[in-house]
Structure formats: C-alpha cells, structure tokens
Chain A
Amino acid sequence: MLAIDVKDLRKQFKVQKNREGLSGALKDLFKRENNEVTAVKDISFQIPQGEICGYIGENGAGKSTTIKMLTGILVPTSGQLKVNGYVPYKDREKFVGGIGVVFGQRSQLWWDIGVIESFQLLRKVYRVSEQDFRKRLDNLVERLDLGDLLNRPVRKLSLGQRMRCELVASLLHNPSILFLDEPTIGLDIVVKTEIREFLKELNREEGTTILLTTHDLQDIEALCSRVIMLDDGRIIYDGGLEELKNRWSKGREIQFQFGTPTSLAKLQLLTAGLDVTWTMSEQGASMWLPHTINVSDALGVVVGGADIRDIKILETNTDDIVREIYRSGSASVSAAATLLEAESPKQEAEAEKETSLR
C-alpha cells in the first residue's frame, strides 16, 4: 500500500503587493493589488509504506509547503492527494491521528508546562490508553535518553533536549507516517547522530514511513534510500541517492606530493592513454579522473614512474553535487553537462572524504 500518493499537486498563494511611495500607499488603501505566487507546481510522487524519503531543495523551493499540504495544514489549490488513505485537508481531525509531525523550527509542546504534562495532554488528545502510553513512553524515553528531563518545563530545555522531546511527542500515538521538517536544524553533531540512529531504528523496527526535509545532506546520506529534489516548485530529481551521486559527480581527484620535483610534461607522459587531467600546484600535482577509469590503474602508472611522498584521494561529496544542481536549477542532462564544464577539477579543497596513503 502507498503511504503517500500525490498527483499534480499545486499550491498558489496570493501575496499582497505594496506599491511604492505615498501615492502607492494611498492607492493600496483603496484597492489592493495581489501577486499570485505558485509555490508548488503540479508535482506527483508516490511513497510506499516503510520508506525513508528525503525531500530536499533550496530555501523557498516549496518543500515546507508540500509538507504542510501532506499534513493537512494547507489546502491545495488543485491536484490529488492521499496520505495514509485519507485526503488530509478534508478529514483533518481523523487523518492527523495517524501521523506524527516535527517541525524543527516550531515546538509542539506547551511552553509553560512540564514535558511530562505535555505528553499527558497529548495522550488525551490522541486518545491513547494509559497502558499503551506508559509502555510507549518508557520505550521512547529509554531510547532517546530523556529520563531526567521529563519534569522540567519546556522553556528550560536546551535545543537538543527539546528536539528529542519533540520526537517523543510526535510518536506517542504510534503513527505510521512521520513527517520531519528540518529536524536537525541547529543541533550539535552528537545529537544529530543520536537522532539519525533513532530514526533508522524506528523505521527498521516499526516500519514507520518517514518523509524528511533537510538542508543537512548528511541526514539524507545517513537515512534515506530515496531522494526527491525540488526546485522552484517542481520535482527535478526523484530516485536513489547513490544514483544521484553517480550521475552527477564527475569523478575524483588524486593529489600527489612528490619527493623530487616532477614536471607536468612527465606526468602527462606517464598517464598518456588515460583520460585524466593534470594540474600543478605548489605542493605537487593533482590528477582528476572520471568514474570510467579505475583509481588503481591511474595510480599504478604514476606510482611506477615518480617519487611520491604522499597521496590523497578526494571524492566529490554530496554537498558539492547538490549545490551545483541547485545553482544550475535543474537536474536534467544538459545541466549535468554544464556542470561538467563549470567545475574545474581543482576546487575540492575541502572535500570531506579523503584517504591518506603514506
């Protein structure tokens, strides 16, 4: 069964236009002009039960608007929408009983009362029996290590503590779909990792479908088997993360430091016959090679012919790939082509995956 089924979903907003100057303000007083803004432009996708799907895109690409339509907060302008067997905005009260939602930038806990009191209130709101609630809460508290936070008022929690409590709050009623809108925003790396581990476990053990938006691609890499990428209200990529990387990363870079100065000509001679590009730098040289060539083949010829002190292999990371796609505004093949041209092989100064051989 499909957890989420979206077809030609569209959302338009009217945004008031403020005219300039005093005369503009006077005109506005009597007749407002509206701009129609289409935030989500006829998107379609399906998510089967039990999948963890990442939903990414630039700020203002329409991610949050989509999530808000999927959770029944916003009413779509047109298109079909079915989540968990319900049309979210129509049967809102019944529908939201089966989903959990965490918005990283908003709290769903009541500010003035203790965490446990918030949970108790949610228990009543979602009509969970005291027995189920206890079992579920104990389990979640243990997994997220909340023990001593429960009696504190929400306003006295740190962001990391609060976010863990938010997760518990969204899961108390055992929802089958969990929506996360930037759940790791502003968190330190320890909490981020904890939350990722928890979500993975949740998905594995309870089969909870998870849809998550994030700007932190490490979230995606750690969790998602599938990515939907949005740009300007349209889906520009929908598929596996590995595939995305393979399709758009252009290769890897190998940096060499030589014991004795080695000329460019010599290096090029060594790798003649391989489709690699060399660039010289003060410390040494770097070789850029596309995915079609084996690293061992390329390394072999260089190692055999030069006095090498150090080797580093840098892989294009997801951040770079996605940044490029955002910049070009499309993940189509032509964009990939311009990407190839645009990016010189020597810009990955801070590539994250590096292997040092000595």
Chain B
Amino acid sequence: MMSAYVDFIRIRFLTMLAYRVNYYSGIIIYAINIGAYYFLWKAIFGSAETLQGFTLAQMTTYIAVSWMARAFYFNNLDREIANDIRDGSIAMQLIRPYSYLLVKMMQGLGEGLFRLILFMGPGLVIVCLLFPVKLPKDPAVWIVYFIMLLFSLFINSQLNILTGLAAFFVENNEGMMRMKRVLVDLFSGVLIPIAFFPGWLKGTMEWLPFQAITYLPSAVFTGRTPMSEAWGVLGIQALWFVILLVPIMFTWRAARKRLFVQGG
C-alpha cells in the first residue's frame, strides 16, 4: 500500500513536469517580487545600519530565501479538494481503499518535489546572481533548513486541506481560500518579517501556526536564530504538524456525514 502512496508522489511529479513551461514564467514573477521587496527595503533602511536587528544584507537574504521557500511549499490542495467536493468527484476517491487526505498530502509532496527541483532550485540561482544574497556556508544549516522546509510544506498543506474541506460546510469557499492565502503570506512572514509586527500582533503570532511556515525556518537560515536554537524551531514545527492533525480529523469526520454528492 505504501508503494501506492509513493506512486501518487511520482505521478504528481510527472504530471507537473508535463506542464513545466507554466513554471518558467513563475520564476520570473518571483524574481520580480524579490526585486521589488529588495528595493523597498533598501529605501526603508536608508542610512540605518540595522532595523529590528536586521542588517540590509540579512534582509535581502531573508526575502530571497522566504520567497524561494514559498515557491517550494505553495500548492493548491485547498482548491483541488474544494473542486472535488463541489463537482462530486470526491465520490470516486471514496470508493478506493486509501485515505483521501493522505493521498492529497502525497500529491502535495509530489508537487513540492517538482517545485524544489524545477522552480526553487533554478530560482535561487537566478536570484543569487541578481541580488546581493548571502547564503550560509555551514552544510549543517542547509541540512536543518531542508528538514524545516519539509515541515513548512506539511503545515501549509494541512492549512490548505482544512480550508478545502470547508467546502463541505459552505456552498462556496472561494472567499475563504483567498483569505487564507493572504493570511498565510502575511502572517508567515513572507511579506514582512514578523519582527516588524507591533508587539501585540507578534505575541499573537507566537500562538499561531503561520510563523512555522516561513519566518522561523528563514530566521535560522539567515543566521538570525543561531543553530543552537534550531532544534527548538524544529520542535515548534513538529508540534504544529501534530496539533493540526486534530482539527483535520474532526472536520473530515463531520464532513463525511454531511457529504452529498452533487450531480446525481
């Protein structure tokens, strides 16, 4: 059975590969985004040496790395699930002896793998050529960062799954999905590092899963959080991964009872 789940990773990777040209433009769009934020922050820094403990060089690296991490962990599982529910094709998923959500997660992994190799990888090279990005030289940081990235993907996918499952309960969860996307981008620290948030919001963020998606891993990678504290970050990520399984399980249970298949 495990080999079936692995196959879902493989097949998603291959299907994504078939449409790879779509992602070339993505790399350019991400580079433009990073460029825009780079110049914005340069203007904000002005003559200041550091802001909230960030030097300009750290900030540039933070932005580049965060956007590239987003290129990796981003997926449309929420949309896929909502579509499956809305057009009733979820019925075809339920007649198979596997867990639908686990399959979705595996497809998310397959997509992540594709994005890592064909999007994040080349994107990072291009970004390093264009902007003064300083990558860490310690291989241990790289290894820890990749493990963290995997958790970023998991947590982001879990949030996507939860948002997608909302389609069981409301007629149209389009609005929710958009709101989720903005929330994740803002609160995970892709747009602005959480260090810049006002005190009360920063405090709130510590109790929410979003920072575990981008801010915490990127802080380790850029060296703001020393390696000695990296295990703590990994712990927080793992904790959120486990905690988020609970609402997903409950939502799924409740959803199964509510399901009615549209179109016959």
A interface vs B, CB < 8 Å? 13-14, 16, 64-65, 68, 71-75, 89, 92-94, 96-97, 99, 101, 103, 105-108, 110, 112-113, 117, 120-121, 124-127, 181
Task: Show 21 residue pairs from A and B whose CB-CB distance is below 8 angstroms, ordered by the A residue.
Answer: A14-B258, A73-B91, A73-B94, A73-B259, A74-B261, A75-B257, A89-B256, A92-B94, A93-B97, A99-B95, A105-B263, A106-B88, A107-B92, A108-B92, A110-B11, A113-B15, A121-B4, A124-B4, A124-B7, A125-B98, A126-B97
Which residue of chain B lies nearest to A104 when distances are taken between CB atoms in the complex?
B264
Which of A16, A101, A112, A126 is within 8 Å of B18, CB to CB? A112
Q: Which residues of B contact A126 (CB under 8 A)?
A: 97
CA gap between A269 and B91 in the complex, in Å: 64
State how many angstroms separate the Cβ of B263 from the closest Cβ of chain A: 7
Which residue of chain A lies nearest to B261 when distances are taken between CB atoms in the complex?
A68
Q: Which residues of B contact A71 (CB under 8 A)?
A: 94-95
Q: Which residues of B contact A127 (CB under 8 A)?
A: 1, 4, 97
State how many angstroms separate the Cβ of A106 from the closest Cβ of chain B: 5
Within 8 A of A (CB), among B70-123: 88-89, 91-92, 94-99
CA gap between A110 and B257 in the complex, in Å: 26
Q: Which residues of B contact A96 (CB under 8 A)?
A: 94-97
Q: Which residues of A contact B94 (CB under 8 A)?
A: 71-73, 92, 96
Q: A121-B4, A121-B11, A125-B98 are known contacts. Are A75 and B92 too (CB-CB below 8 A)?
A: no
Interface check B260, CB cutoff 8 A: yes
In contact, B95 and A74 (Cβ under 8 angstroms) = no
State how many angstroms separate the Cβ of B133 from the closest Cβ of chain A: 36
Q: Which residues of A contact B229 (CB under 8 A)?
A: none
Interface check B3, CB cutoff 8 A: yes
Which residue of chain B lies nearest to A14 when distances are taken between CB atoms in the complex?
B258
Query: Which of A65, A89, A92 gathers the greatest number of chain B CB atoms within 10 Å?
Result: A92
State how many angstroms separate the Cβ of B85 from the closest Cβ of chain A: 12
Q: Which residues of A contact B264 (CB under 8 A)?
A: 64, 105, 181
Which of A16, A65, A103, A124 is within 8 Å of B1, CB to CB? A124
State how many angstroms separate the Cβ of A55 from the closest Cβ of chain B: 13
State how many angstroms separate the Cβ of A273 from the closest Cβ of chain B: 53
In contact, B97 and A94 (Cβ under 8 angstroms) = yes
CA gap between A213 and B119 in the complex, in Å: 47
Which residue of chain B lies nearest to A72 when distances are taken between CB atoms in the complex?
B94
Interface check B14, CB cutoff 8 A: yes
Q: How large is the interface on B (under 10, 10 to 19, 20 to 34, 35 or more residues)?
A: 20 to 34
In contact, A125 and B95 (Cβ under 8 angstroms) = no
State how many angstroms separate the Cβ of B3 from the closest Cβ of chain A: 5
Interface check B171, CB cutoff 8 A: yes
State how many angstroms separate the Cβ of A131 from the closest Cβ of chain B: 16
Q: A74-B259, A94-B97, A125-B97 are known contacts. Are A103 and B11 too (CB-CB below 8 A)?
A: no
State how many angstroms separate the Cβ of B253 from the closest Cβ of chain A: 10
Within 8 A of A (CB), among B212-264: 256-261, 263-264
State how many angstroms separate the Cβ of B216 from the closest Cβ of chain A: 35
CA gap between A8 and B4 in the complex, in Å: 37
Query: Which of A14, A68, A120 gathers the greatest number of chain B CB atoms within 10 Å?
Result: A68
In contact, A74 and B4 (Cβ under 8 angstroms) = no
In contact, A74 and B260 (Cβ under 8 angstroms) = yes
CA gap between A14 and B263 in the complex, in Å: 16
Which residue of chain A lies nearest to B260 when distances are taken between CB atoms in the complex?
A13
In contact, A73 and B261 (Cβ under 8 angstroms) = yes
State how many angstroms separate the Cβ of B4 from the closest Cβ of chain A: 4
CA gap between A126 and B91 in the complex, in Å: 17
CA gap between A126 and B14 in the complex, in Å: 22
The 5 tightest CB contacts between A and B, nearest first, are A124-B4, A97-B97, A73-B94, A101-B95, A125-B4
Q: Which residues of A contact B99 (CB under 8 A)?
A: 93
Q: Which residues of B contact A65 (CB under 8 A)?
A: 260
State how many angstroms separate the Cβ of B167 from the closest Cβ of chain A: 14
Q: Which residues of B contact A121 (CB under 8 A)?
A: 4, 7-8, 11
State how many angstroms separate the Cβ of A12 from the closest Cβ of chain B: 10
Q: Which residues of B contact A13 (CB under 8 A)?
A: 260
Q: A71-B95, A121-B8, A126-B97 are in contact. List 18 more A-B contacts (CB 8 A).
A: A14-B258, A16-B171, A68-B91, A72-B94, A74-B260, A75-B259, A92-B94, A96-B94, A99-B95, A103-B92, A106-B89, A106-B91, A113-B14, A113-B15, A121-B4, A121-B7, A124-B3, A125-B1
CA gap between A101 and B92 in the complex, in Å: 9
Within 8 A of A (CB), among B112-165: none
State how many angstroms separate the Cβ of B88 from the closest Cβ of chain A: 7
Q: Which residues of B contact A113 (CB under 8 A)?
A: 11, 14-15
CA gap between A75 and B255 in the complex, in Å: 10
Q: Which residues of B contact A103 (CB under 8 A)?
A: 91-92
CA gap between A124 and B10 in the complex, in Å: 13
Q: Which residues of A contact B261 (CB under 8 A)?
A: 64, 68, 73-74
CA gap between A121 and B12 in the complex, in Å: 12
CA gap between A107 and B89 in the complex, in Å: 8
Which residue of chain A lies nearest to B263 when distances are taken between CB atoms in the complex?
A105
